[in-house]
């Protein structure tokens, strides 16, 4: 009976190390999960056009008097309606 118990313990220990090895190898080789959000190195703030409401990156927007616009035509139309 003692020999069977030792065998089960040794097999359990070998199984444990085998599982640890599989996890180490799969995490080193596995590509990123497609459900993970992309990592952006040059992320920009998004602003809403004060005229039409579309969201645009800060670098592509036109800013005037504290308002953001998607294009110059919307900027001009926004300020033309105030006059």
CA distance 42 to 25: 31
pLDDT tens, position by position, 9-64? 999 999 999 999 988 887 766 566 667 666 666 778 899 999 999 999 988 998 99
**Does 39 fall in a domain?**
no
Residue 65 lies in a domain: yes
Q: Is 71 inside any structural domain?
A: yes
* 76 domain-assigned: yes
Q: Is residue 18 situated within a structural domain?
A: no
Helix (H, G, I), strand (E, B), or coil: what is residue 8?
helix
Q: Which of 56, 59, 57, 50 lies closest to 79 in space, CA to CA?
A: 50
User: Would residue 61 count as lying in a domain?
Assistant: yes
Does residue 1 lie in a domain region? no
The tally of domains found in the chain comes to 1
Predicted model pTM: 0.49
- Host domain of residue 75: 46-80
């Amino acid at each position: 009976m003692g020999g069977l118990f030792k065998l089960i313990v040794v097999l359990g220990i070998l199984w444990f190390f085998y599982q640890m090895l599989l996890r180490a190898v799969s995490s080193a080789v596995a590509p990123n999960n497609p459900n993970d959000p992309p990592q952006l190195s040059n992320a920009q703030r998004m602003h809403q056009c004060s005229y039409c409401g579309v969201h645009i990156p800060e670098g592509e927007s036109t800013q005037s008097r504290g308002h953001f616009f998607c294009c110059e035509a919307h900027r001009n139309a926004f300020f033309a309606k105030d006059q």
